[in-house]
Amino acid sequence: MKSEEFAAARGQSPFPFEGGREEAGSVELRHLTVGYSQRAVLSDINQTLRPGRMVSLLGSNGVGKSTILRTLSGFQPPLSGKVMLDGRDLSALSLSERSKTVSVVLTERVEVPYMRVADLVGMGRSPYTGFFGTLTEADREIVREAIDMVGISSLAERTVDTLSDGERQKALLAKALAQQTPVILLDEPTAFLDFHAKLSTMRLMQKLAHETCKAILLSTHDVGMALRLSDELWVVQDGVIHAGTADSLRADGTLDAFLKGEDKYV
Partner 1 sequence: MKRSLILLIIALLLLAIANVLWGSLSIPVGDVWQILCGSEVEGHPAWSVIVRQGRVPQMLTALLTGSALGTCGLLLQTAFRNPLAGPSILGIDSGANLGVAIVLLMLGGTVSIGSMTLGGHLLVVVAAMAGALGIMALLMVLSRLLRSQVMLLITGVIISYVTGSIIQLLNYSATEQGVHNFVIWGMGNFASVGIERLPVFCSLSVAGLLLALLLVKPLDALLLGDRYAENLGIRIGYVRQMLLLVTGLLTATTTAFCGPISFIGLAVPHLARLALGTSSHRTLMPATMLIGANLALMCNLLSALPRDGSLIPISVITPLIGAPVVLHVILKQRTS
Piece of 4-12, 58-66, 127-135, 220-228 that binds partner 1 (CB under 8 A): 127-135
Determine phi and psi for 142, rounding to 5 degrees. -60, -40
Residue 164 within binding range of partner 1, rule CB under 8 A: no
Binding mask 167-206 for partner 1 (x = CB under 8 A): ------------x---------------------------
Instruction: Choose among 10, 77, 85: nearest CA to 38.
Output: 77
Q: Can you tell me which of 53, 98, 203, 242 binds partner 1, judged by CB under 8 A?
A: 98
For the bound state, the minimum distance from the C-beta of residue 206 to partner 1, rounded and expressed in Å, comes to 22
What gap in Å lies between CA 135 and CA 210, rounded to an integer? 28
What gap in Å lies between CA 26 and CA 24, rounded to an integer? 6
Q: Which residues contact 135 (CB under 8 A, 6 or more apart)?
A: 122, 125, 129, 143
> Is 218:231 a contact under the CB 8 Å cutoff?
no
Q: Can you tell me which of 86, 161, 252, 256 binds partner 1, judged by CB under 8 A?
A: 161
Determine phi and psi for 164, rounding to 5 degrees. -75, 170
Residue 124 within binding range of partner 1, rule CB under 8 A: yes
Residues lying near partner 1 in the complex (CB under 8 A) are found at 73-75, 95-96, 98-100, 102-104, 106, 108, 110, 112-115, 119-120, 123-124, 126-127, 129, 131-134, 161, 179
